[in-house]
């Protein structure tokens, strides 16, 4: 991918302030970047900054006498291996959907044969608008790739889907996972991660679930991808966008998650159970909505299958890592689970009272058969990378030990 020529179209949304970083990351991965601004993008990011980071003058004018044969749009359209529009406002998406070409960026999009990738960014109510959604469908039908948007806090003070996908995730989506500089033990391996909560139906409208946001599992998935692994993310229902270049399988109940895990388990080298799987499900799911009455109601609950234990119990099992979320006696419970569930490692964290679930930060303690390590309070993305590193190290040491055990048996056969 090195040397890829990317036209970065920037339209007028607040997320444009992140584009100098996007340019920097693309260049770091070896791409040549030519920034093209719309008129309103200049309200949010300066040409000087973009020129400094991209190393070439920023283009914005359709009537550019300096361009080859005074046709900047044709020159850029031919030059590009890829046109990336980030952030893409509702306005630019509507122009693309219409095939309209009032400025340099939209004109070159019509003139190019290169693939076009769009990273929308707008207020979440705008994003939900049926006009915007219709345009989005039109773009997808024309093979324009839509990245995101991500869910979360917005510049307008509201929250929801509409944030531009983070620059590092855009880069991973278009250029693939980062090359692995330190040849992680996970490079080329298949890593399966469960993440998020499960939902256990009571009737067609109600369910039992928990506060898991999926952030920890998703961060581990992104970190494993960056370590060069092929990642299978088996996710419960969450409100966050899966990391780019990660195969994500969505499930709802523990039973569905169990089936999805076992469906692909033979491919897996390392299994990480980060999901907060419900321990019980309603013994009989009602086909119609339960009606309230004056009397109290009891629910009969049955145990769900333990996905992690079932993986660890396989004969030819992957390296298996579990999580233990506890409100007390962390160490004792975690070590108990490591043994009972026959795990290779366990990541333990305290939950409740403003800790663990739904938060962006966490602190954990990791235990394995002959070691342990504390990871102090950090952002879950940072923690994800630290956990992937230590999981890779332990995985490698077990692989190495197995190789040593096998060798004498081979030479002893002479
Ligand atoms: O036994 P406990 O639920 O505390 O164990 C937590 C660990 O087991 C987590 O790694 C979780 O993903 C996994 N688990 C599972 N299936 C269940 C319950 C827990 O995979 N039904």
The candidate with the shortest Cα–Cα distance to 363, out of 354, 350, 352, is: 350
Residue 224 has pLDDT above 80, yes or no: yes
Q: Of the ranges 158-162, 209-213, 357-361, which is most confident?
A: 209-213
Residue 330 has pLDDT above 70, yes or no: yes
The candidate with the shortest Cα–Cα distance to 280, out of 297, 308, 299, is: 299
Q: For residue range 12-60, what is the model confidence (pLDDT) as tens digits?
A: 999 999 999 999 999 999 999 999 999 999 999 999 999 999 999 999 8
Q: Is 109 a catalytic residue?
A: no
pLDDT-based confidence at residue 414 (cuts at 50, 70, 90): very low
Distance 186 CA to ligand 1 centre (A): 23
> Of 312, 323, 349, 350, which is best to mutate to test ligand 1, by the most ligand atoms within 8 angstroms of its C-beta?
323
pLDDT of residue 328: 85
Q: For residue range 283-306, what is the model confidence (pLDDT) as tens digits?
A: 999 999 999 999 999 999 999 999
d(CA 47, CA 56): 10
Token pair listed for 85: 């529009």
> Of 279, 308, 325, which is best to mutate to test ligand 1, by the most ligand atoms within 8 angstroms of its C-beta?
308
Read off the pTM. 0.67
Cα four-point dihedral sign 362, 168, 16, 140: negative
d(CA 88, CA 194): 32
For atom 9 of ligand 1, the residue with the nearest CA is 323
Q: For residue range 67-90, what is the model confidence (pLDDT) as tens digits?
A: 665 567 788 898 999 999 999 999
Residue 412 has pLDDT above 50, yes or no: no
Residue 305 alpha carbon, nearest atom of ligand 1: 21
The candidate with the shortest Cα–Cα distance to 387, out of 227, 244, 177, is: 227
The 8 Å CB, 24+ separation contacts for 137-140 are: 138/97, 139/93, 139/96, 139/97
Question: Domains in the chain, ordered, with CATH?
Answer: 5-175 (3.40.50.1950), 181-283+299-404 (3.40.50.10300)
d(CA 318, CA 344): 9
pLDDT-based confidence at residue 413 (cuts at 50, 70, 90): very low
How does 241-277 read in b/e, with b if 16+ C-beta sit within 10 Å?
A: bbbbbbebbebbbbebbbebbeeebeebbbbbbbbbb
For ligand 1, residues with CB inside 6 Å are: 194, 254, 273, 275, 277, 279, 304-308, 322-324, 337
Strands 150-153 and 159-163: antiparallel
Element (H, E) at 371: strand 371-379
Strands 200-201 and 207-208: antiparallel
């Amino acid at each position: 991918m090195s040397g890829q020529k990317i036209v970065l179209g920037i339209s007028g949304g607040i997320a444009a302030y992140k584009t100098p970083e996007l340019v920097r990351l693309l260049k770091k991965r070896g791409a040549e970047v030519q920034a093209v601004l719309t008129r309103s993008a200049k309200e949010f990011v300066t040409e000087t900054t973009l020129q400094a980071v991209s190393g070439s003058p920023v283009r914005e004018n359709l009537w550019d006498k300096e361009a080859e044969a005074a046709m900047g749009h044709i020159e850029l359209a031919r030059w590009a291996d890829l046109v990336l529009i980030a952030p893409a406002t509702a306005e630019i998406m509507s122009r693309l959907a219409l095939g309209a070409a009032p400025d340099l960026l939209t004109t070159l999009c019509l003139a190019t044969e290169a693939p076009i990738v769009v990273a929308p960014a707008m207020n979440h109510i705008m994003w939900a608008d049926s006009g915007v959604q219709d345009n989005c469908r039109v773009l997808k039908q024309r093979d324009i790739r839509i990245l995101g948007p991500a869910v979360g806090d917005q510049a307008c003070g509201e929250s929801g889907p509409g944030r531009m996908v983070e620059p590092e995730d855009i880069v991973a989506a278009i250029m693939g996972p980062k090359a692995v500089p330190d040849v992680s033990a996970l490079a080329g391996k298949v890593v399966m991660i469960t993440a998020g909560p499960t939902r256990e139906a009571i009737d067609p409208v109600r369910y039992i679930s928990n506060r898991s946001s999926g952030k920890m599992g998703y961060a581990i998935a992104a970190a494993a991808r960056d370590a060069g692994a092929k990642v299978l993310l088996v996710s419960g229902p969450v409100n966050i966008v899966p990391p780019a270049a990660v195969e994500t399988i969505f499930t709802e109940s523990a039973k569905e998650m169990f089936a999805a895990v076992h469906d692909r388990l033979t491919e897996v080298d390392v299994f990480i159970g980060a999901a907060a799987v419900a321990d019980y499900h309603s013994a009989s799911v009602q086909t119609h909505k339960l009606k309230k009455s004056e009397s109290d109601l009891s629910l009969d609950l049955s145990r769900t299958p333990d996905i992690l234990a079932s993986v660890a119990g396989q004969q030819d099992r992957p390296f298996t890592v579990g999580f233990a979320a506890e409100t007390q006696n962390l160490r004792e419970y975690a070590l108990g689970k490591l043994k009972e569930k026959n795990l290779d490692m366990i990541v333990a964290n305290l939950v409740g009272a403003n800790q663990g679930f739904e938060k962006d930060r966490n602190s954990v303690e990791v235990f394995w058969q002959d070691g342990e390590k504390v990871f102090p309070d950090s952002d879950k993305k940072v923690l994800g990378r630290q956990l992937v590193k230590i999981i890779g190290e332990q995985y490698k040491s077990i692989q190495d030990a197995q190789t040593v055990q096998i060798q004498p048996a081979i030479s002893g056969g002479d």
